[in-house]
Structure 1
Amino acid sequence: MLNFEVTHTEGLARRGRLTLNHGVVQTPIFMPVGTYGTVKGITPRSLDEMDAQIILGNTFHLWMRPGLDVVKQFGGLHRFEQWDKPILTDSGGFQVWSLGEMRKISEEGVKFASPVNGDRLFLTPEISMQIQTVLNSDIVMQFDECTPYETKGHRTTEAEARFSMELSRRWAQRCQAEFARLENPNALFGIVQGGMFEHLREESLAALVEMDFPGYAVGGVSVGEPKEDMLRIMAHTPQRLPAHKPRYLMGVGTPEDLVAGVAQGVDMFDCVMPTRNARNGHLFTRYGDLKIRNSRHRSDERPLDESCTCYTCQGYTRAGGSVSGGFSRAYLHHLERCGEMLAPMLATIHNLHYYLNLMREIRQALEAGGFAAFAQRFRSERQRGI
């Protein structure tokens, strides 16, 4: 089941409501990435408390471990990982792309060696749909061939990008047929490919729209291309997708990318950046980025961001109303330098809260008709520095 309603617009930017089998998602939205059935460094309870509305899982990795027999025993990912809100699963196409020389692509599918135990495996559009049906994810992504920006040191040519795009288009048809055969009650999204070539993107888009998917994603970005090329495709493709269906920009990105994407009509985002950067001491704040390992934070008593209301910055409210107080930069610096596991946990809480709160502020600005002013203020504050 999928129902999408656009409630407010400002230019190309949209405020909407996406209803799925496991709940309602307010858009625009950022989706934390939970590759192995968990968002690294944070509990489902903490995700719920910071109002994460939908998270990701990964078809490829969950197929490898724990295996479909285990997930099927629990009736799907939701009960297995104790998350009762919506889940989106990637098809495995990006992970197959990342295997490089370890995989061989054909019309039928992809042969590769398991990165877990070396077993020879074969992943096809049909098998991807079968796996995602067992996972019972609310949004299922088509199996696609992720077009690289470059291969073996040379930029992907137009001919190579066309071959990849047309293969993904044929795989989309097979995914749709298998999804229907399985009577999967969830929603299947098509993925627009075409590399860095706008006319190929338009061909891919037209074919997928003809197939009438419930939603659409823009794939093949954040694959090593220069930032200006990513922004060029982001400015080109989302606005050409059907206005009455959700639009998902895959694997993007920085806070600035999210605001820019919303301005181009994107409704859904995901990226490993807030969690991965947190594990490396790289924090996002309203006033720019902060690297907590730097010695200048050694005795700094301030929180990461005085305007932030996350547990890391502000603490929590005890029974009776008293506030526990947040953690200082000095303490977080100390944890990082000592390699304490609490460091990435607190950093992850902060970074995800920052991303989710940014999207909440964007939704509020769109409701008030003030997104353009918000975007200008956002850029000014981020450039101010901390």
Structure 2
Amino acid sequence: MSFEVIQRDKNTRARLGRLKTFHGEVSTPVFMPVGTQGAVKTLSPEEVEEVGAEIILSNTYHLFLRPGQEIIKKGGGLHRFIGWNKPILTDSGGYQVFSLARLRKIEEDGIYFNSHIDGSQYFFTPEIVMEVQKALGSDIIMPLDICLGYGASYWETKEALEITLRWLKRSIDYKENSNMETQLLFGIIQGGFYRELRKEAVERMLDMELPGFALGGISVGEPKDKMYEITDYTVSLLPEEKPRYLMGVGAPEDLVIGVSMGIDMFDCVLPTRLARHGVFYTKTGRRNIKNAQYKEDFSPLEEDCDCYTCRRFTKAYIRHLFLQHETFSYRLLTIHNLRFLFRLMENIRRSIREGRLEEFKKEFLTQYLANDRENRLEKEEVWNKLLI
């Protein structure tokens, strides 16, 4: 298992890379679809692969609650259990405990939390989270961490960072004493939106010889400009030879901007969640299939899209299905949204190879965001800065 930088962009931190895992290679920069329960919602593994996925993400918290790691282990591990033969990344569940648990209590040893399903109480320790991911057999694993929302105080954030770093050390120790040689343990960089804490996190983690770094505690309610600012700063501190993973971020504009900042890996539920609400991506922004203008629109969702949905069906048909609550419409929109992002990543990688990422970035952002009020960056000065 290794990571190799193949080519660097001359004008930004963007780079092309190759991440080798036990279940195959991944070309970076890469977007990872989220299969929370072991499935990308509404799609089969074959459909996920067909739209362009090289790696998917699953959720340790949800799989721990149901069906439980013992059942998955008996089923031959997560890959065999869900029928996916390519790489899998599993997160630690720290964010889900933060966002879903009705009650959580953080102690030095771990986190007490109540299940969002039935309220039953559980206790996560760094060792338990590693044990669960060992049973899952995922290729890239994450340590238990403490994720705070935007607006947390400096001292609250510092305390959370200290515990997160101690838990990371315990996770490393567990992995070194277990049969987990085929699994890559990334460190999660916390520190909220305080530069000095992010710097401290990176500096202390550099001594731990980790194979990769994940940026956590981002996209937790902050304005876009804050997200970009702390991402750019944190990446500037990281070593060139290790992969960088921006957790939970995956809007089209964020992919383009994040790659230019030096991010190699992304994941997000957004494309599949939007599809189930009737929203689909186009080069000129997001659109909603429920709009009356599509009632007699017999064109595809996007004219030059090569996905199954656009090759076979029209907006009018998909709108009809969606308004009748036919689940086929969710599948069709999901296929399109994921293919849109994978085509975007292909274009990003091509522009890096050809030395024109900045040109591509300006063209894409101008076209995608200019007429999209929902996605418009909050501050005009941020918009202008990103296009420089």
Query: Which TM-score band applies after superposition, normalised by the shorter structure?
Result: over 0.9
Counterpart code for 1:5: E
The answer as to whether partners of 2:101 and 2:116 remain within 8 angstroms in 1 is no
Gaps of 5+ in 1: 150-154, 315-325
Aligned to 1:181: 177
Counterpart code for 2:156: E
Q: Distance in 1 between matches of 2:166 and 2:362?
A: 42
2:279 pairs with one of 278, 282, 304: 282
- 2:7 is paired with a residue whose SS is strand
The answer as to whether partners of 1:147 and 1:165 remain within 8 angstroms in 2 is no
- 1:237 is paired with a residue whose SS is helix
RMSD: 1.2
Q: Distance in 1 between matches of 2:203 and 2:101?
A: 29
Q: What's the CA shift string for 1:245-288, capped at 9, x where partnerless?
A: 10000000210001000000000000000000010011111221
- 1:35 is paired with a residue whose SS is coil
Aligned to 2:109: 108
Which is further off, 207-216 or 98-107?
A: 98-107
Q: Distance in 2 between matches of 1:377 and 1:118?
A: 49
Q: What TM-score, normalized to structure 2?
A: 0.93
Aligned to 2:386: none
Counterpart code for 1:22: H
Q: What TM-score, normalized to structure 1?
A: 0.93
Q: Distance in 2 between matches of 1:384 and 1:58?
A: 35
2:325 pairs with one of 331, 339, 359: 339
Q: Distance in 2 between matches of 1:238 and 1:71?
A: 35
Q: Distance in 2 between matches of 1:110 and 1:251?
A: 21
Q: Distance in 1 between matches of 2:230 and 2:42?
A: 32
Aligned to 1:323: none
Q: Distance in 2 between matches of 1:239 and 1:285?
A: 32
Aligned to 2:136: 135
Aligned to 2:377: none
Which is further off, 70-79 or 18-27?
A: 70-79
Runs of 4+ in 1 over 6 A off after TM superposition: none
Residue 229 of structure 1 pairs with residue 226 of structure 2: yes
Q: Distance in 1 between matches of 2:158 and 2:3?
A: 31
Q: Distance in 2 between matches of 1:159 and 1:305?
A: 49
Residue 212 of structure 1 pairs with residue 209 of structure 2: yes
Distance 1:309 1:385, change over 3 A: farther
- 2:186 is paired with a residue whose SS is strand
Which is further off, 364-373 or 211-220?
A: 364-373
The answer as to whether partners of 2:90 and 2:142 remain within 8 angstroms in 1 is yes
Q: What's the CA shift string for 1:54-111, capped at 9, x where partnerless?
A: 0011111101111112101122100000000000000010011113551111111011
- 1:309 Cα shift? 0.5
Residue 118 of structure 1 pairs with residue 119 of structure 2: yes
Residue 329 of structure 1 pairs with residue 315 of structure 2: yes
Aligned to 1:321: none
Q: Distance in 2 between matches of 1:203 and 1:362?
A: 32
Residue 97 of structure 1 pairs with residue 126 of structure 2: no
The answer as to whether partners of 1:130 and 1:182 remain within 8 angstroms in 2 is no
Q: Tell me the matched-pair count.
A: 369
